[in-house]
Amino acid sequence: MEAGIKEMMRLLDEVGEGVYFTDKQRRITFWNKAAERISGYAKKEVLGRKCFENILIHVDGRGRSLCQGFCPLARTLKDSKARQTGIFLHHKHGHRVPVQVRVYPLHNEKRVLIGAAELFTDSSEKPDLWARMHKLEKLAMSDRLTGVANRHFTEQYLQARLEEFKRFHWSFGIIFFDIDDFKTLNDQHSHRVGDKALKTVAKTLQGNIRSIDQVGRWGGEEFIVIMRNSAKKTLQPLAEKLRLLVEKSIFWEKGTPVRVTISGGATLVQAGDTSATLVERADLLMYKSKKKGKNLISCS
């Protein structure tokens, strides 16, 4: 029996999905290799700790914390029912990762509830445009610090969408984001902390857009998201979702939690637009958000 359990644990450690077990107090008792890869947390960092103790810190699509009252695992421990949902977990490096979660009750041989098992899959692991490119081409088109598209590639991508709009009337939108109080962050901490903030924002944006959309670093603390086949009713909710996910992200510097927020301007392409007029309109909307108090989205 014991040998069979060890073999099962070995197999679970090799599966592609993140898997972890908890007892009835939500204390983590098993953590597989995929859970380490998806979350960034090593097994030794989480075993024996409760899952809501600043580890995964699940939030939903509206940025609402699930750990206190809405946690799917806690609900399964309460009613012994299996369930699944889509949520966002907190990566060790600070950014939010979209995951599909399945939770199952665990019983002993007498059918007494002893804990729960959670399986989670990274929803952002999708076919990547960069994977089809030569390594040197990728380096030429990527921002070296954050890994997202650099300004040159983003400008080319934006121009291609404008040509499509002129020829086929395929609508698209852009969202211009700027990290709030970035200079103050650098002055109060260090440029290393500023770099961490840039990486956190970039990974959060990149991991939570569709595969047909594009995120690029425009310059400094500015990012642009280009959303294809969009209308105002889809552009503004996406901008709000990304803003909330950045707000809920956190990274650590010498044991101190650091949070950042972003302000954004979202706009749809219009007849007669050039790259310059489109970006300028989104930029002005972003500054409107700054003037209204920051950590906001303005849309036209």
Tell me: the pLDDT tens digits for 250-261? 999 888 899 999
From-to residues of CATH 3.30.450.20 in the chain: 2-122
DSSP of 89-149, one letter per residue?
EEPTTS-EEEEEEEEEEEE-TT--EEEEEEEEEETT----GGGGS-HHHHHHHB-TTT-SB
From-to residues of CATH 3.30.70.270 in the chain: 129-299
Average pLDDT score over the chain: 89
List the one residue out of 35, 59, 33 whose CA is nearest residue 122. 35
Distance between the two ends of the chain, CA-based, in angstroms? 64
The confidence score (pLDDT) of residue 217 equals 98
Note whether 227 and 238 are within 8 A (CB). Answer: yes
**Tens-place pLDDT, residues 160-190:** 999 999 998 999 999 999 999 999 999 988 8
DSSP reduced 3-state for 207: helix
Q: List the structure tokens of 145.
A: 């610090």
Q: Catalytic residue among 36, 118, 221, 247, which?
A: 221
DSSP reduced 3-state for 192: helix
Domain 129-299 is in which class? alpha beta
pTM for the structure as a whole: 0.70
**Tens-place pLDDT, residues 36-95:** 999 999 999 999 998 777 677 777 776 777 776 678 898 999 999 999 998 898 898 988
Q: Can 7 be counted among the known catalytic residues?
A: no
pLDDT tops 60 at residue 158: yes
Q: Which CATH superfamily is domain 2-122 in?
A: PAS domain (3.30.450.20)
